[in-house]
Amino acid sequence: MEALVHPDGRFVLGTRILRAALGRGGVRADKAEGDGATPLGRLPLRRVLYRADRGAVPRAAVPREPIGPGDGWCDDPGHPDYNRMVRLPHPARCEELWRADGLYDIVGVLGWNDAPAVRGRGSAIFLHVARDDYAPTLGCIALAAADLRMVLAAGLTAVTVTDRG
């Protein structure tokens, strides 16, 4: 099952319309590292990462794996591990996946710039938990925790981000 994501934050899955937070840089076809934009196009759901200490294993149509305090994601375009999950500490710049704020309690890893990764084209594009106020992300797509669990359980396999209303 695929979802359609609109630039105004509508996340449409079948007949359901949910609210989503998108990147502070808008939706862009020419996504670049650090621009804060959500990439335009079809983003397959590769796998789901989750914090086992903060809830049940999410139901999903893709592989699921727990994360721990030593897990990170390399966002350094100059390193060979760019746009890959890594173990911390790591010699390159990385984002920590084990967060105190709950945003990464459930993370759908979206297929962006990963087959293969092109330096500077953007990294760590996730489907994750939204802040309570749906504040913009750094380029990810974020849903309320209950909505995220529901779309994963419904069999989500990809999201298509459009630049059309």
Position 162 scores a pLDDT of: 98
Topology of the domain comprising 2-161: L,D-transpeptidase catalytic domain-like (2.40.440)
**Triad 124, 130, 134: Cα angle to 5°:** 120
pLDDT in tens, 32-83: 999 999 999 999 999 999 999 999 999 999 999 999 999 999 999 999 999 9
For the chain, the straight-line distance linking the first and the last C-alpha, in angstroms and rounded, comes to 21
Residue 58 is predicted with a pLDDT of: 98
C-beta of residue 17 within 8 angstroms of C-beta of residue 11: yes
Q: State yes or no: pLDDT of 165 exceeds 90.
A: no
